[in-house]
Structures are given as C-alpha cells and as structure tokens.
Amino acid sequence: MITLGENQYGKSRVRVMKVERSDGRHEVFEWNVEVWLKGDFTRCFEDGDNSRILPTDTMKNTVYSLARSSRASTIEEFATELVTYFLMNQSQVEEAGASIRSTRWKHIFTDTGEHSMAFIQDGSVIETVTVTYPRTGPVSVTSGFTGMAILKTVKSSFAGYLKDKLTTLKETHDRLLGTLASAAWVYVGTDQDFVAARVRITNTLLDAFAEHDSMSVQQTLFAMGKAALEAAPEISEIRLQMPNKHCNLVDLSAFGQDNPNHIFVPTDEPHGSIEACVRREN
C-alpha cells in the first residue's frame, strides 16, 4: 500500500522592503520571507481536491498586507504575527511556520554627520529567524545569523591529531583561524527583548572567538556556545556552524625570502565543516 507521508506547502522568497517614515528620519527593513502550512492535505495530493488549500499566492499577499499594518520592529515579532494570522484564520491548518532572512541597512555618514534618509548595506551578515506555531502547542522562536566572516591571527593551533599513511597536514601552533560562521539559538518563550538578546549573544560569541586559546575549531565552537548560553538565560540551546576557511602559508624560499607567518593564500575549497549544538542540561 502506498500512502502520503509528512508534507507541507507554502511560499518562498517573498521579498519585502519596508520603509518606516517619521519626521526627519526614515528606517528601512529588507526581509526575505518564507511561510508554510502543515495539515491534512491528503485529498489535494492524492485526488487533486483543492478545497482545503489556501493558494500560495494568497500567502504571498498576506505577507505584504501584514507588513503594511504591522508595528513589528524585529523579524522575530513579524514572523510571530504571520504564523499567528495563518493559524487563527485557517481552521484546516495544524501548524504554521515562517522563516525570515534580514539584510541590515544602516544610515550613511556624510561630511555633515549621519544622513537620516540614505543608507548603506551593513556587511555580509544575514540575520535569521524561524517561527513555528502548532495548534496544539506553543510558539517556538529560533533566531540567529549566517554569513559572518571572522578571523584571528593569534591563539590558534592544531596538533596532536590522528595520523595515518595519507596524512600530509603538518602540526601548527601558530596559524590563522578564519570561518564563515552561522548560528541559531532557541528562545525559552516568546516574551523577550529580541533586539537586546541578539546584540548580547552576538557580542558574546565574538568575544569568545577572539579571546579563546584555540586548540581546534571544535574546541572554539564549544567555548563560544557555552559563553552564549551563560550570557543569555533566555535561550535553551545554540547551534553553530563554523566551516574552517583555510589560510595557507606561502613558501617564499625559492625567492630567497623568509615568511614568518606574514604571507598566506586564503582558500575557500575544500574546507573543513564543523558544527555542533550546545545546550543546557535540565
């Protein structure tokens, strides 16, 4: 017997640029939104019966309409508004979910100071949130970021590892440590100051990365996660992804030059892929 398994449907890559206008100053928010619904949609998949299906185009329009009326200033608040709206207005839905990627914009500084209505994109970091709301349970909020390029030139070594006949990597006690980090942390409840928590968690992760005396990316990842949990009692766990972006020392001996850790070649591929979840014990 062949049956339908777990399923969902929704709308992805709904692009929103929202401008908040007040006297003499504007703020802009750029969001890339994904929304999805779960429920008993078996008849649609198996028989083509669409009577329980809200069109994904309507879901897209809902994002725009709510963005217009919303007073949310964070992606966490707006994602929560979205899932709540779908769950409250679609009785056939068992769970609604939303994921938002936020591109940050900051005011441009000119010769006369901060320009109140002109902006520059703030680096490569994308802020993220995923919110789910099952009809039989509480709202779950997971926030984070992706694409954070960080690098340090001290306090990084890698030695004492397993070696076999195919090992060519040399041990080092003085290397560059670089990564394009991603993080996702789970909040305990939804009554949070998401702005303050994000700033505190991000700053703590960066402080731990910079100050940790690293014997491996794995060890530094755990130290960063542990520090974030200690600094943020409002979260229950944090997952970190830290691909090891290698910087290889250039051999300048053919040119009659030494190279005491001054000149490197940065490489993106292949790279080590390290990730882990750090959580509190109950």
- Summarised one tens digit per residue, pLDDT across range 22-73 is 988 999 999 999 999 999 999 999 999 999 999 999 999 999 999 999 989 8
Band of pLDDT at residue 269, cut at 50, 70 and 90: confident
- CATH for 148-279? 3.10.270.10
Band of pLDDT at residue 103, cut at 50, 70 and 90: very high
Percentage with pLDDT > 90 across the chain: 89
What tens digit of pLDDT does each residue of 72-81 get? 989 999 999 9
Among the residue ranges 75-79, 100-104, 220-224, 260-264, the one predicted with the least confidence is: 260-264
Catalytic residue chosen out of the listed positions 11, 60, 107, 245: 11
> Residue 124: its pLDDT value, please?
86
Handedness of CA 128, 180, 19, 197 (dihedral sign): positive
The full set of domain ranges for the chain reads 9-137, 148-279
pTM here?
0.91
| Tokens representing residue 268 in the block | 């993106």
Catalytic residue chosen out of the listed positions 18, 26, 56, 146: 56
> Residue 122: its pLDDT value, please?
86
> Residue 245: its pLDDT value, please?
86
What tens digit of pLDDT does each residue of 189-238 get? 999 999 999 999 999 999 999 999 999 999 999 999 999 999 999 999 99
Closest CA to 274 of 249, 237, 246: 246
Q: Which of the 8 DSSP states describes residue 192? A: S
- CATH for 9-137? 3.10.270.10
Tell me what the mean pLDDT of segment 161-185 comes to: 94
> Residue 268: its pLDDT value, please?
80
- Check pLDDT > 90 for residue 1: yes
3-state secondary structure 251-278: CCHHHCCCCCCCCEEECCCCCECCEEEE
Band of pLDDT at residue 282, cut at 50, 70 and 90: confident
Band of pLDDT at residue 159, cut at 50, 70 and 90: very high
Q: What is the mean pLDDT of the chain?
A: 95
Amino acid symbol at 174 = D
Catalytic (active site) residue 56 = yes
Domains 9-137 and 148-279 share a fold: yes
Catalytic (active site) residue 11 = yes
Please check whether residue 119 is in contact with residue 105, taking contact to mean a CB–CB distance below 8 angstroms: yes
Tell me what the mean pLDDT of segment 116-135 comes to: 95
Q: Is 191 left (phi over 0), alpha (psi -120 to 50) or beta?
A: beta
Catalytic residue chosen out of the listed positions 38, 107, 245, 246: 246
Catalytic (active site) residue 106 = no
Band of pLDDT at residue 18, cut at 50, 70 and 90: very high
Q: How far apart are CA 171 and CA 181, in angstroms?
A: 24
Q: Which of the 8 DSSP states describes residue 156? A: B
Is residue 107 classed as helix, strand or coil in its secondary structure?
Answer: strand
